[in-house]
Structure 1
Amino acid sequence: MKKLLKTIITATLLASSASYAAPIDADTKKEIEAIIDDYVSNHPEIIINAMKKLERDEQLKTQQAFLDIIKDYRASDRHPFLGKKNSKHYIIEFFDFNCGYCKVMEPFFEKALKEYELQIIYVNIPVIRAESAQLAYLGQALYDTDPNMYFKFHKHFMTPDNKKADEESVKALFKNIGADYDAVVKKISSSKNTIDENIKDSFKLKISGTPYLIIDGQEIRGAITSYDQLKSVLK
């Protein structure tokens, strides 16, 4: 850290001097480095203060991303959502179609929609296995084609038991819910950007797995395990 700090300070001074005077020669550069090295050695608190500032800056950056994402997602039409925009309460769920904990929470969300003025926003980040990405892209393309059809697809895969996700099984599901599989597949390339942006946002929020929830401005890493727990957060 000391060496890094010294390098940064030296580079800053040299850049500054280059802007206002002739370039510094090698001997002068060595003198500047020696002065900086002596100062940092005799004032170690500067290293601690610099580390604290870096940490604060990172926290502020993450917090701003958190607030921006809430505002953006609540107003956006690109993410599947239930309820009404600008409802009193909201849940933003980063989920994966293969996330067992996410599936456990679905009945809680359905019940809460009946009891609260609530908006639920589903943000798909395929992180569990390869087929998660296939379902994510296909699901987003279906939502962009027909939101009502999407939620039939969503309900099918978000029930607790495991559902087959091979091509023939998915085609059969589309036929069952009345969706055009081939037409939706053609739309994947244009819908893919939303999933890619979801993944980028998950990096900004430092999400390490699903589920990740934002409920009325409160961050929850991990699953809610009972409806009473969900109610306590909404209150």
Structure 2
Amino acid sequence: MNLFKGSLIASLLCLSPLCYAQIDDIDAKTKAKIESIIDEYVSTHPEIIIRAMQKLEHDEQAVQANNVKNAGIALRNDSTLPQINTSRAKHYIVEFFDFNCGYCKVLEPMLERALKEFDLQIIYVNIPIIKEESSQSAVFSQAVYNIDKKAYFKFHKYFMTPGYRSADTDTLKKLCKEYNVDFNKVVTELKSKRPHERISKSIAQSTNLKISGTPYLIIDGKELRGAFRDYEQLKALLKD
């Protein structure tokens, strides 16, 4: 008897009138007879296994869809996350991204274009999963956001520009000077560990949503895994 069939038999046993009594109280002979009957039925009606698997998949999809919807609502109202526009916007996009994700960089100009055409809120959730330097740029940028929200988007644009973007100390100091941000204040904010906690929370949220890569998007309560083929695909989703 395979594992799935055994589980199915156990489930059917619990749905029978005998569930009013403890299964352990059934004598071995009666229990074996019941299992034999169910096993024979399942063997001669294999479609019941297919239906059970389909229902299980459907139920899992429903749970995931509900989790995505709830996460979208929570994230678009989370002031600790970098965002453009407010939750009063008609549409919203939550983007889980990595500064070193090439597909995320390709997506960035599409998001910028969508902002010009739609009443749209964009929420950025940084999950540094590609390499160590991703974590450095993520926590530093979050620290900048914590002390100067407008300045954050200058750093965001720098790191999201196609090609390699260094996050070493000298580069970060240079960027702070260029963008008129006090580097020492950023360092003080980093020492508070608040930026690290926010990034850790984002990673935990991505785990709850079963995100396995970037970019991952929540668009008006529905998930989309991976990048768009082109801008028209994004535009169609927002129109719908």
Q: TM class, shorter-chain normalised?
A: 0.7 to 0.9
Aligned partner of 2:139 among 116, 137, 161: 137
Structure 1 SS opposite 2:211: coil
2:81 aligns to what SS in structure 1?
A: coil
Shift of 1:12: 7.1
Deviations 1:168-192 (A, max 9, x none): 322433344313232122133x343
Please say which of residues 205-214 and 156-165 is displaced more in the overlay: 205-214
| SS, match of residue 67 in structure 1 | helix
Alignment of 1:79 onto 2:84? no
Secondary structure in structure 2 of the residue aligned to 1:163: coil
2:64 paired residue number: 62
Q: Which runs of 5+ in 2 are unaligned?
A: none
TM-score normalized by the length of structure 1: 0.80
Aligned pairs (5 A) from 1:26-65: 26-65=28-67
Within 2, Cα distance between the matches of 1:149 and 1:60?
40
What corresponds to 2:107 in structure 1? 105
Identity of aligned residues (%): 49
Deviation sequence 1:151-174 (CA, Å, 0-9, x none)? 222122112242211233224333
Change (3 A) 1:31 1:147: same
Q: CA offset at residue 227 of structure 1?
A: 5.0
Q: Distance in 1 between matches of 2:169 and 2:20?
A: 63
When structure 1 is superposed on structure 2, of 220-229 and 83-92 the one drifting more is: 220-229
1:204 shift after superposition:
4.6
The answer to whether the 8 A contact 2:94-2:218 is kept is yes
1:221 is matched with: 225
Q: Distance in 2 between matches of 1:91 and 1:10?
A: 44
SS at match of 1:91: strand
User: Alignment partner for residue 207 of structure 1, among 188, 211, 215?
Assistant: 211
The aligned residue for residue 4 of structure 2 is: 4
Structure 1: distance between partners of 2:224 and 2:10: 43
Q: 1:35 to 1:74 in 2, by over 3 A?
A: same
Structure 1 residue matching 2:84: 3-state secondary structure: strand
C-alpha contact 1:18 1:24 (8 A) present in aligned 2? no
Task: Indicate how the Cα distance of structure 1 residues 230 and 9 shifts in structure 2: closer, same or farther if over 3 A, else same.
Answer: closer
Q: Is this contact kept in 1: 2:9–2:39, CA < 8 A?
A: no
SS in 2 for 1:132: helix
Shift of 1:107: 3.3
Q: 1:52/1:234 Cα in 2 relative to 1: closer, same or farther (>3 Å)?
A: closer
Residue of structure 2 in register with 1:169 after alignment: 171
TM-score (norm 2): 0.79
Aligned residues: 234
Cα distance in 2 for partners of 1:8, 1:193 equals 43
TM-fit CA distance, 1:145:
3.3
Secondary structure, aligned partner of 1:165: coil
2:126 matched residue in structure 1: 124
> Root-mean-square deviation (CA), in Å?
3.1
- Alignment check: 8 A CA contact 1:79 1:123 kept: yes
Q: Report the alpha carbon displacement of residue 144 of structure 1 after superposing the two structures with TM.
A: 2.9
- Aligned counterparts of 1:14 and 1:214: Cα–Cα separation in 2: 39
